[in-house]
Structure formats: C-alpha cells, structure tokens
Amino acid sequence: MKALAFDLGAGSGRAMLGSFEDGRLGIEELHRFPNTPVQLSTGLYWNTLGLFCEIRRGLAIAGRERKLNIDAVGVDTWGVDFGLLGADGALVDNPRHYRDARTNGILERTFAAVPKEEIFEATGIQFMQFNTLYQWHAMKLAQAPALSVAHRLLFLPDLFNYWLTGVERAERTIASTSQFYDPRRRHFARELLDRLSLDASILPQIVDPGTRLGSLLPEIAESSGLGPVPVYATGGHDTASAVAAVPAQGEDWCYISSGTWSLVGVELDQPLINARVLASNFTNEAGAGGKIRFLRNIAGLWLLEECRREWALGEHKLTYDDLLARAAQAQPRSAIVDPDEFLEPGRMPQRITEHCRRTGQPVPKDPGQMTRVILESLAERYCQVVKTLESLTGRTIRVIHIVGGGSQNRLLNQLVADTTGRTVLAGPTEATAIGNVLIQAIGSGVLRGLAEARDVVRRSFPLERFEPA
C-alpha cells in the first residue's frame, strides 16, 4: 500500500508518501510548502486557497512527476479553525487564524450566558479562547454577515476533504477540539449551542477516523494523474494522528507531542470529566481507535521560535543547532517561566526578560542563556503536568514518549528525563504524517487496528532513549 498524507501545521505543510513493505512503513517527503497567515485590517486569516493549491501540487508531484500508484489520501491540520460554506458550496468568508484578536475577552462574555462549569460538563474540553465555540460565538455577538448566509461549517481538514471529494463530513477527532462536541454521547452538544443561539443545523455528520469519504473529484483525479484515488478521513486533528504513531505498549506511559505546542497526555477508554479535571484545565479529545486523548495543551517551542524570529531581525541570525549548542553551555536553572504566559506573538525575548526582572530572577544575557531558560521551563512544566496526570487518572507513569519535530531536541529530551525522573523515548520525528498514513491503512483494511499500527512503528523507526541523570 502507498498512501499520501497531507500534514498541515501552523507554519508549514508537507505531502508525505507512506509505503508499506514487509511489515514496515517507510515515509518520504514529496512536497513541502510554507503556511503563512495573512494580516488584513479586518483580522488575521489563513491562506486556505493557497494551501489547497499546494495540496493539489503535492498530488500532481505524486501522479504526474513521480508516476506513483497511490492507494489512499488523507489530510490533517491543526485544531479549532473552520470555514463557512454558502448554499452553493462556496466559501462565504475566509477562515480566520486561531490567534486572531476577535476572541479577546470572549470567554467572559460566553460564561455570562452559559457558566464555565456547565460548558465543561457538556464537553470536557480545556478552556482556550480560540476554541471553535468562542470563535463562532464571537462572530454571533459581532453579527458577522457570513453567519447569515452560512449553510455549512467545516473544520479545516474537513474543508480540504470537501474540496477534494465534494463530501461534507466532520471527522471526529477534529470535531472534538471545538468545545461543542460531547465525548460521552459522541455527537455535537446541540443544547449548548442552542443556549448561545448558535445554529447547529449548519454542522455536518460526524464520521470516525479511517472512514472512506469518497474519491478524488474527476477534475482533480485527471489533473493530478492519480485517477479516482480514495480519500479517507484520517486523524483530522494533527495531534490525533501523532498520538496514533506513539510506539507505546502497556499503560505506564504518557506522550508529549512536541512542536509549536506541547500536548502532554495519556489515552483513556472513556472521557474523564469532573471538578478536579476542570480545575486542572485538562481536556478530553477524541482519538484513533475509539480512544480519548486526555491531555493538557501548553505552549511549546513556540517561545523559542518567536525568540529566534525576533533575533533574526537584529544581529543574531542563529540556527536551532547554534542555539542548542550555546544553551548546553549556559548556566543551568538560572530562571523559570510559565510558558503559558507567553501565548501572544511579538517581542518574545523582551517579554521573557521583563518577566524575569519583575519576578526577581536573573535576566538571560544572551540567546544561549535565553534558550536554556525556555527549555528548562518547558521541562519543569511537563513535570508538573505529568504529576497531575498521575493524580487525576490514578496511573503510574514510568515512560514518556516524545514524538514530533521537538523529539529531535536532544537537550530538551534530556532535561525532561532529568526533571521528571522518568525514562524518555524520543521519536518518531514524523509522528503526525506516520499516524495519518496508519489511520488510512486501518480504514482501508491493511492494518487491523491501533495495536498493530504501533507494532509497525516500533519495527520501522528508531527511538532514542534518555535516562534521568
């Protein structure tokens, strides 16, 4: 089997070829492209049409240039964002970026209509102002014209699937990030939407990851040279795909999907929704194989990415390898910050410096020391979250699986092992694309389920082990 996985992140997207042979999976990048938001006077937007052009370009590379026979296609993206379609199937407004300012202050306005505790009881989802519920409610309060003509709401991977196949569906894992999905009853929380005067009739039917949606539309099939390839609803939320590729066994483990965001969690068979979970701001999102991804979403390497971007505007044009080498030589434990206090873009080095000065901690003097502060702060935050996971679930966590791009950060991996006192297994790096392919393979019958998929990962990709020092 050969499957094409389109993995779209907040900064870039890739077309990744997954090939199964002799019980192993190989992964190859066919096409990479930037994902650059567009700031207009009316807000911050995603360039969704440009992204779809790149998806079509990836299909053409596979079909026209490489002459590959592709058996399946799947798309995953980041969570919460969405597009609105009119009755004719066309976009009625360009999808906004989750960092758009329209949701500033929306939590308090929403809680005035429906108390926080009742929203959590209905959804079990962590409160973040950019969740789909609050984006939609902000549009309603602002009387956004697009809502008056909206016929369908599609989360972003579902939007791309619709453009590929003409089929309107909501894949379960991406729907669960919205904060209007009920994980107990496994459908949209329509009563909650009614209380906020949000029209639930524009929501599509929910399908499970691995569902075959249809085939490439005739024009796309012809222009790409691939023919009518089946398109599957994979783990539409990129973290759901990444977690599917965690090469874990037993129950004494947790995962960290490490990248711009850090998602720290475990798999459960049923959602865990109670007052303690609410107080800890954990979330219950749908996963592959009917699992619940019980996790805490925290700021990740975003802080370092923002610092590096700011430094590049000045005299410090440093690669990640440069920064990590300097950080390894920097003074340890000079300062600790809470990564979640730095979610907004802009002036990241200055804001961290100001925070250290305000809290009476040593101020980082150079990029190497700043990088060390960020990485040690992430490791400390992971440790706190892992301990809370153990307390909430009653499990003992002995192994931490770090997957995704951040798993290549050996200094951070060792800091996590040292700070938590637990074994860290790092890899695979391309977990999201791998999980995307694995879920397509489960949907097409090539693999029998999540356990077999993880066996394939363990056979196919090397892991690096870090023990506490």
Asked if 84 and 93 touch (Cβ cutoff 8 Å), the reply is yes
Single out the catalytic residue among 238, 252, 322, 455. Answer: 238
Integer Cα distance of 244 and 248 in angstroms:
10
Angle (deg, nearest 10), helices 367-393 and 348-358:
70
Element (H, E) at 93: strand 91-93
Element (H, E) at 111: helix 106-113
- The neighbouring-strand residues paired with 297 are 263
- The neighbouring-strand residues paired with 5 are 16, 74
Q: How far apart are the first and last CA of the chain?
A: 43
Residue with the two structure tokens 């749908």: 286
Integer Cα distance of 13 and 285 in angstroms:
23
Active site residue 238: yes
Integer Cα distance of 217 and 215 in angstroms:
6
Asked if 314 and 430 touch (Cβ cutoff 8 Å), the reply is no
Integer Cα distance of 241 and 191 in angstroms:
29
Catalytic residues: 238
